[in-house]
Amino acid sequence: MSGKPEPKRTDGPAPAVDDRSVAARLFAILDAFAAPAGATSLTLTLTAIAQRAGLPLSTTHRLVAEWVGWGGLTKHDNGQYSLGMKLWELGVQTPTARNLRTIALPYLEDLYETTREHVHLAILDGRDALYLEKLSGHHAVRLISRVGARLPLHSTGVGLVLLAYAPSDVVQQYLATGLQRFLPRTVTEPDAVRKRLAEIRLLGLARMSEEMTAGSSSIAAPIRDRTGQVVAAVSIVTRTTDIVDPEQEQAVRLAAQGVSRALGYRRAQQ
């Protein structure tokens, strides 16, 4: 009853004992390096890591040393830390990413060659479109997307395609939360989005225009696995024009079909 038998705590601003496990603390350290949006990858000092992870400096010091020893973090000459190659090495072995990427890459290359536009490959992960691959030429319009980026489902071509073929409860939940408007043309009204999703399912293709990045539009199509489930989406992002280019749309469709076939999909109908 009453207060716990705390030793000698000077009131202060809620010490709030940290009941995270060692593992959770180790993870918190890595999470401190998660790059925010489309920024360059982070490089942090020990103190910065400690702050971001909410850990005492000495604990951070010890745990960071463990990460460095294993290769999950690297210490640079200037004393800053960044994510280490070991992490990259294990990361690229993750089955979902690796298998899809390996199979899809040749088709993405073809698509890039025929269109010379940014090519994206993304999957649905939680409430986001997670970008697995991105090909772009030298010219390349500046985009926020990059490999490993998470972008909203309702404002990107791949995102909308993924949402269009997602289980209805996922759609329900996604639309329930307020959708952010990035540009005047971003569609954020739930019912309007629903109507779009139906059109996408009908057409087997999504067309976006100026909803995430000014001056750029995109065309996206679904990729299916052997069971017919949509598991990913491909897209190209072009400079916005008013005319629909049937050749580009056909190229995206073909790429998506190619990958689907390589994944073992044999289209049932149509």
Partner DNA sequence: ACCAGAACTTCCACTGAATGGAAGCGGATG
Partner DNA sequence: CATCCGCTTCCATTCAGTGGAAGTTCTGGT
Which of 11, 19, 169, 191 binds DNA (CB under 7 A)? It is 19
> Does position 146 bind a copy of itself by CB under 8 A?
yes
CB 187, min distance to a copy of itself, A: 27
95 binds, among DNA, a copy of itself, none (CB under 5 to 8 A by kind): a copy of itself
CA distance 163 to 173: 11
∠205-207-213 over CA atoms, to 5°? 140
Radius of gyration, CA atoms only, the chain: 23
Which of 1, 2, 3, 7 binds DNA (CB under 7 A)? It is 7
User: What residues between 31 and 50 interact with a copy of itself by CB under 8 A?
Assistant: 33-35, 41-43
Of 83 and 197, which has the nearer Cβ to a copy of itself? 83
Contact stretch for a copy of itself (CB under 8 A) within 108-116, 157-165, 205-213, 240-248: 108-116
> Does position 11 bind DNA by CB under 7 A?
no
> Does position 59 bind a copy of itself by CB under 8 A?
no
> Does position 70 bind a copy of itself by CB under 8 A?
yes
Query: In 14-108, which ranges are E strands?
Result: 73-75, 81-83
56 binds, among a copy of itself, DNA, none (CB under 5 to 8 A by kind): DNA
> Does position 190 bind a copy of itself by CB under 8 A?
no
Whether 159 and 153 have beta carbons less than 8 Å apart is answered as yes
Coil, strand or helix at 172: helix
User: What residues between 41 and 80 interact with DNA by CB under 7 A?
Assistant: 45-48, 55-59, 61-63, 79
CB 125, min distance to a copy of itself, A: 6
Beta bridge partners of 209: 217
- Which long-range contacts link 197-206 to residues 24+ away (Cβ below 8 Å)? 197/160, 197/163, 197/164, 197/171, 198/164, 200/160, 200/161, 200/164, 201/164, 201/165, 204/253, 205/161, 205/249, 205/252, 205/253, 206/157, 206/160, 206/161, 206/164, 206/235
Judged by the rule CB under 7 A, the positions of this chain that interact with DNA are 5, 7, 17-19, 21-23, 25, 45-48, 55-59, 61-63, 79
